A and B are shown apart, each in its own frame.
Chain A
Amino acid sequence: MTQAELSELVKRSEFTPVAGLSAEDCVTLYYYMQLTRTFEMRLASFYRQGKMVGGVYLGTGNEATSVGATYTLEDRDILAPTHRDIGAHFVKGESLRAMALQLLGRAEGPTGGKDNGLHQGNKEINTLGMISHLGAMISVAAGAALASKIKKSGQVAIHFIGDGTSSIGDFHEGLNFASVMELPVVYIIENNQYAYSTPNSKQYACDWIAQRAHGFDMPGIVVDGTDVVEMYRVTKWAVERARRGEGPALIESQTMRMRGHSEHDSADYVPQKVMEKWEDKDPIDILKNYLRDWGVLTDVTREQIDEQIESEVEKAFEYALDAPVPEGPEAANGVYAR
């Protein structure tokens, strides 16, 4: 849905902006989060129906973090997402159709079937494509921010990092370097409590990953990552600070991976109690309540949006499923830039 279409639905009279977010902004955030959820649930079904090749990694529980943080960016800014950030891609401007084509490995998709998952980059909207090797993008995001600093372009970069990923050596190298050079980059830990089957207790010994920011001499902030407004507020602060040339920041979003690591994983290593606790903190439900309480959206209009999203997602997949797979010999092309 377009911003204009969404604005139509908003009851804006009674609303005073929260954290700099207008009523339209709040509805737009809802749209992206719900879109993310709907899109991903389709993928989950497709996986079980044998329509997907390879693994499917979902960001259920991560919608507020991914969408809220990315919503702070301007078009010119740089986004380095990770594997649970479909929402961030959408906010930054990736189309549903491109996303569907990518995840189904179709010829027309952004990687033409050469790479899988959320690995696409897009120069037009300034997203950097990740590699599977976790941690590798930390200094790449710093490098993009370095270019901004050299060019004085005023661009800021955001990069998402998993809790598990924070253990790898690249984390230290990247954050240290970014801080030394006072680069306009904001690192956001998506602390979803698990790295595959590994709980935080086996991943790190400190209380918060954000504590480490101190050692790099940058701000370290822990946020409730299920509350999109909080997520937006804190990230906005860090982004503006970076844009002013005051250097990087580390934000730790506390959230939960509400499904298995990937769809083949039943996640039975997660204690039932833990799961239940987080089920009460579904980021989309939290926003729904806000919208209702603030009188921004009635349940009826919200359902209208939901239906509209359903049909957009359906259309994107209908197109993608029908789209041709790449021709074999295409495999040989594109290794070198010409």
Chain B
Amino acid sequence: MRVEVVMPQMGESVAEGTIIKWHKQPGDAIEKDEILLEISTDKVDSEIPSSHEGKLAEITVEEGKTVDVGTTIAYIETEKDADIESSDNGESEKAEVAEDTAERSEEATAPANGEQIETKGRSGKDFYSPLVRSIAAKENVSQSELESIEGTGIGGRVRKQDLLGYLESRGTKPAARPTKQVQAIKYTGPMENVDVVEMDNIRKSIAKHMRTSLDTSAHVYSVSEVDMSKIVAFREKHKAEFQRKEGFKLTYTPFIADATVRALKDFPRVNASVDMDKGEVLEKRFVNLGMAVAIEDGLIVPVIKGADERSFLGLARETHRLANKARDKELDPDDVQGGTFTITNPGIFGNLYGLPIINQPQLGILGVGAIKKRPVVINDAIAIRSMMYLTLSYDHRVLDGAVGGQFLQRIVQYLEEFDGEGIL
């Protein structure tokens, strides 16, 4: 039978050993206790005698290699048959020990060390931890409210996460809990081929706002498609004359702004902000429309004040004026404040659509994709139309999917039904 030769442990703290020399080669006969190999550990060098008489069958670890204590380093083929021999093989016991402990580990884990400690006396449901009690006190959660909460702990105990979940759905500010301080992972590699660029203040404040927004709002997204063919045709027809009369180009922006403003009037809940502390949603009866503008090294969102009171032309002129001011870096603080809803244009670079981050404290932002000619099915026939994607990011804390979805569809509807009657 084949028996294993293992790397022995030569001292209490020794974890590995190196094979210096094999005194026998595969095929060689070997006597019991004859020197088989030499090993070295950082404590001692030693000659290892064979545990069996027989033939060296196989060497599994070559000279010069270092392996863990207990690793099989060779096999010896012995004359005796397995039954008799296994009794003399130290390895079989080791296997037994391992098995034995593996079997036990399941029940052993608990009583021996971790110890399954039962909460005696009070059942899980009746017992509230000091933390749950202190959060409840701070948040004015009454005893009967506490009792109504479904506990997910052992025995139905209300755990921290249960109470926090309850508070969230109740719409009250959860107990002050140190917010997660995420330690951003930093690049620590070599710097030779890395250019270091200082962040300016705009960049820093954008970074901060973006992060804050994601930490504040529960972002959800809806995407829709708009057939812009009518608007495209209208613009083609009027753009030269418009340019001559107004002195600037007719873009698609005022069309979209106009449709959005009208939809916002239909859905005041979207044109709102939220105060979680007080548990109030503030619906605005006016629309101040933010228009994201890409500038040299950043992005800024000037606001068209009173957008709901402006005509199509009025929207077009104000958009043009603010965009120019933005590019010239001449916006006043007032120009960028007070927005109630924002439109941004990821399509400007030809992309189909983007999923924008809400501009706090607003509840939604519309992302406008690129207009592209695409084959579409109309009345079971394929037609080529100028299509555009619209995406809406909105705050699920306050806006349900139904509201968000219908609001987006309303914009689509206004754009597709555009007739251009007397707008210029």
Instruction: Answer whether A and B touch in the complex at a CB cut-off of 8 Å.
Output: yes
* In-complex Cβ contact of B100 among A53, A265, A266, A328 (8 A): A328
Chain A residue, CB-CB nearest to B96: A325
Contact residues, A192-222 vs B (CB, 8 A): none
* In-complex Cβ contact of A321 among B33, B41, B88, B112 (8 A): B88
Please tell me if the beta carbons of B88 and A329 are within 8 angstroms of each other in the complex: no
Please tell me if the beta carbons of B88 and A318 are within 8 angstroms of each other in the complex: yes
Most buried by B among A49, A55, A263, A318: A49
**Given the interface contacts A51-B51, A318-B88, A321-B88, does A328 sit within 8 Å of B8 by beta carbon?**
no
Contact residues, B311-368 vs A (CB, 8 A): none
Chain B residue, CB-CB nearest to A332: B112
* In the assembled complex, B70 has its CB within 8 A of some CB on chain A: yes
Q: How far is the CB of B36 from the nearest CB of chain A, in Å?
A: 9
* In-complex Cβ contact of B10 among A53, A264, A322 (8 A): A264
Digitize B1-31: 1 where CB-to-A-CB distance is under 8 Å, 0 elsewhere.
Answer: 0000111111110100000000000000000
* Complex interface: chain A residues within 8 A of B202 (CB): none
CA–CA, A318 and B44, complex, Å: 29
* In-complex Cβ contact of A55 among B12, B47, B50 (8 A): B12
* Complex interface: chain A residues within 8 A of B44 (CB): 260, 264-266
Chain A residue, CB-CB nearest to B37: A48
* In-complex Cβ contact of B70 among A50, A324, A332 (8 A): A50
Q: How far is the CB of B75 from the nearest CB of chain A, in Å?
A: 14
* In the assembled complex, B285 has its CB within 8 A of some CB on chain A: no
* In the assembled complex, A20 has its CB within 8 A of some CB on chain B: no
Chain A residue, CB-CB nearest to B4: A50
Please tell me if the beta carbons of A49 and B97 are within 8 angstroms of each other in the complex: no
Q: How far is the CB of B178 from the nearest CB of chain A, in Å?
A: 41
* In the assembled complex, A54 has its CB within 8 A of some CB on chain B: yes
Please tell me if the beta carbons of B87 and A318 are within 8 angstroms of each other in the complex: yes
Please tell me if the beta carbons of B47 and A48 are within 8 angstroms of each other in the complex: yes
* In the assembled complex, A45 has its CB within 8 A of some CB on chain B: yes
CA–CA, A263 and B101, complex, Å: 29
CA–CA, A69 and B91, complex, Å: 39
Q: How far is the CB of A263 from the nearest CB of chain B, in Å?
A: 8
* Complex interface: chain A residues within 8 A of B276 (CB): none
Chain A residue, CB-CB nearest to B48: A48
Q: How far is the CB of B104 from the nearest CB of chain A, in Å?
A: 6
Chain A residue, CB-CB nearest to B105: A328
* In the assembled complex, B49 has its CB within 8 A of some CB on chain A: yes
Q: How far is the CB of A171 from the nearest CB of chain B, in Å?
A: 26
* In-complex Cβ contact of B12 among A46, A49, A51, A54 (8 A): A54
CA–CA, A318 and B6, complex, Å: 19
* Complex interface: chain A residues within 8 A of B45 (CB): 266
* In-complex Cβ contact of B49 among A48, A53, A264 (8 A): A48
* In the assembled complex, B280 has its CB within 8 A of some CB on chain A: no
* In the assembled complex, B239 has its CB within 8 A of some CB on chain A: no
State the total of A-B contacts with C-beta under 8 angstroms.
Answer: 67
Please tell me if the beta carbons of B93 and A325 are within 8 angstroms of each other in the complex: yes
Digitize B242-262: 1 where CB-to-A-CB distance is under 8 Å, 0 elsewhere.
Answer: 000000000000000000000
* In the assembled complex, B90 has its CB within 8 A of some CB on chain A: yes
Q: How far is the CB of B107 from the nearest CB of chain A, in Å?
A: 9
Q: How large is the interface on B (under 10, 10 to 19, 20 to 34, 35 or more residues)?
A: 20 to 34
CA–CA, A48 and B11, complex, Å: 11
CA–CA, A321 and B86, complex, Å: 10
* In the assembled complex, B206 has its CB within 8 A of some CB on chain A: no
Contact residues, B138-172 vs A (CB, 8 A): none
Q: How far is the CB of A33 from the nearest CB of chain B, in Å?
A: 21
CA–CA, A329 and B112, complex, Å: 8
* Complex interface: chain B residues within 8 A of A260 (CB): 44
Q: How far is the CB of B412 from the nearest CB of chain A, in Å?
A: 69
* In the assembled complex, A177 has its CB within 8 A of some CB on chain B: no
CA–CA, A325 and B93, complex, Å: 7
* In-complex Cβ contact of B9 among A45, A50, A321, A332 (8 A): A50
* In the assembled complex, B224 has its CB within 8 A of some CB on chain A: no
Contact residues, A312-338 vs B (CB, 8 A): 318, 321-322, 324-325, 327-329, 332
Please tell me if the beta carbons of B46 and A50 are within 8 angstroms of each other in the complex: no
Digitize A265-303: 1 where CB-to-B-CB distance is under 8 Å, 0 elsewhere.
Answer: 110000000000000000000000000000000000000
Sort A-B residue pairs by CB-CB distance and give the 10 closest, nearest first. A51-B90, A50-B8, A264-B11, A49-B51, A50-B6, A322-B87, A264-B10, A48-B48, A266-B44, A45-B49
- Other A-B contacts than A46-B90, A264-B14, A325-B96, 13 sampled, CB-CB below 8 A, are A45-B49, A45-B51, A48-B8, A48-B49, A49-B49, A53-B9, A55-B12, A263-B10, A264-B43, A266-B46, A318-B88, A325-B97, A329-B104
| Chain A to chain B contacts (Cβ below 8 Å), 25 pairs | A45-B33, A45-B49, A48-B8, A48-B47, A48-B48, A49-B6, A49-B8, A49-B48, A49-B49, A50-B8, A50-B9, A50-B69, A51-B90, A53-B9, A54-B12, A260-B44, A264-B11, A264-B43, A265-B43, A265-B44, A266-B44, A318-B87, A325-B93, A328-B101, A328-B104
